[in-house]
């Protein structure tokens, strides 16, 4: 099944500013960021440490609030939502794979993976679930609790959890940061499959040009601003862009 809806916006920001602290300690983490993520597109966000990548992901996914400007998921302006509405939007429409995995320590790997679905009272699509578990190499670890898993295994559980409910949009903050190249390739190709087979939208942060080459588009941040972007990236074109940005 190919779902094509490239003409609708899955998420966007307009004039997004995020300031942490105030006075002498003020940090302008995002400085007038306007960006759109189209439905059915895979975007990688890159940029130096401290350039605002995580802040952008947190604002887009409703985990942090904007100082000014707009953030929308689909047609929904996040600033208009109550806490309860925000929780429901996150639960029903967004999947997350963040550096701190946020797995529930008392639940098994499988229980963690199906938790968002259980909370929403939805049944998992068993075929998709077993594809995810197999591709991420988790079948032998389903009964283990997070504390009994390696860092890479925990990250793959977090990926499986984000993918299981087929949310409209998946945000990943360095989702392959702790993985060896084999597991990293599996995670990226399953994110690619979520886009190509189910028309989901994926936005990840990465420092790795090879990971970025799985995306349709790479957006480059520096000092809280979008400074450039690449379409149909290859690892080489991403690397060239990174070098040219360093010397600008
Ligand atoms: N909670 C916070 N309080 C104060 N400053 C913060 C906070 N979170 C982030 N910052 C600052 O905002 C800026 C952007 O941080 P952010 O975490 O978005 O960077 P990043 O691009 O994700 O970096 P990295 O590649 O190291 O993960 C940095 O200067 C950081 O120190
Ligand atoms: Mg970060």
Higher-pLDDT residue of 194 and 101 is 194
Rounded CA-CA distance 179/145 in Å is 19
CA distance readout (Å), 216 to 144, 170, 243? 35, 15, 20
Nearest Cα to 162, choosing from 121, 126, 196, 115? 115
For the Cβ of 177 lying below 6 angstroms from any atom of ligand 1, the answer is: no
Mean pLDDT score of the chain: 92
What's the token pair of residue 46? 């890159």
Question: Using 50, 70 and 90 to split pLDDT, how confident is the model at 192?
Answer: very high
b/e code 112-123 from CB counts within 10 Å (16+ = b): bbbbbbeeeeee
Nearest Cα to 175, choosing from 158, 192, 194? 158
Nearest Cα to 170, choosing from 187, 183, 148? 187
| Region 184-203 average pLDDT | 92
What's the token pair of residue 76? 């929904």
Please give the pLDDT value at position 1: 46
pLDDT tens-digit readout, 106-116: 999 999 999 98
CB-based burial label for 94 (10 Å; 0-12, 13-18, 19+): buried
pLDDT tens-digit readout, 60-106: 999 899 999 999 999 999 989 999 999 999 988 999 887 666 899 99
CATH domain 40-51+81-246 topology: Rossmann fold (3.40.50)
- 59 alpha carbon – ligand 1 mean position (Å): 12
Site to probe by mutation for ligand 1, drawn from 50, 53, 58, 178 as the one with most ligand atoms within 8 Å of Cβ, is 50
Site to probe by mutation for ligand 1, drawn from 28, 33, 48, 54 as the one with most ligand atoms within 8 Å of Cβ, is 54
pLDDT tens-digit readout, 151-178: 888 988 999 999 998 899 999 999 998 7
Q: What are phi and psi of 52, to 5 degrees?
A: 110, 10
* Widest distance between CA atoms in the chain: 54
Question: Using 50, 70 and 90 to split pLDDT, how confident is the model at 217?
Answer: very high
What's the token pair of residue 188? 């990226």
Question: Using 50, 70 and 90 to split pLDDT, how confident is the model at 133?
Answer: very high
What's the token pair of residue 186? 């599996």
- 100 alpha carbon – ligand 1 mean position (Å): 15
| Rg of the chain on CA atoms, in Å | 18
Please give the pLDDT value at position 151: 82
Residue 33, Cβ neighbours under 10 Å: how many?
25
Higher-pLDDT residue of 43 and 90 is 43
């Amino acid at each position: 099944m190919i779902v094509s809806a490239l003409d609708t916006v899955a998420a966007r920001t307009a004039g997004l500013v995020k300031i942490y602290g105030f006075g002498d300690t003020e940090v302008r983490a995002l400085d007038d960021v306007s960006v759109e993520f189209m439905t059915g597109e895979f975007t990688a966000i890159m940029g130096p440490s401290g350039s605002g990548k995580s802040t952008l992901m947190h604002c887009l996914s409703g985990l942090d609030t904007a100082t000014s400007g707009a953030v929308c998921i689909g047609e929904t302006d996040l600033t208009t939502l109550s806490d309860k509405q925000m929780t429901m939007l996150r639960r029903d429409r967004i999947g997350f794979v963040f550096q701190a995995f946020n797995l529930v320590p008392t639940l098994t790997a499988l229980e963690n993976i199906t938790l968002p679905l259980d909370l929403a009272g939805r049944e998992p699509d068993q075929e998709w679930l077993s594809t995810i578990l197999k591709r991420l190499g988790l079948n032998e670890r389903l009964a283990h609790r997070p504390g009994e898993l390696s860092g890479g295994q925990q990250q793959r559980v977090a990926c499986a959890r984000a993918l299981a409910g087929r949310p409209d949009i998946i945000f990943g903050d360095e989702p392959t940061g702790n993985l060896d190249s084999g597991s990293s390739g599996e995670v990226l190709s399953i994110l690619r499959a979520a886009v190509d087979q189910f028309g989901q939208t994926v936005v990840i942060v990465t420092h790795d040009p090879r990971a970025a080459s799985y995306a349709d588009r790479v957006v480059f941040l520096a000092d809280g601003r979008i400074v450039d972007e690449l379409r149909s990236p290859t690892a080489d074109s991403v690397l060239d862009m990174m070098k040219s940005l360093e010397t600008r």
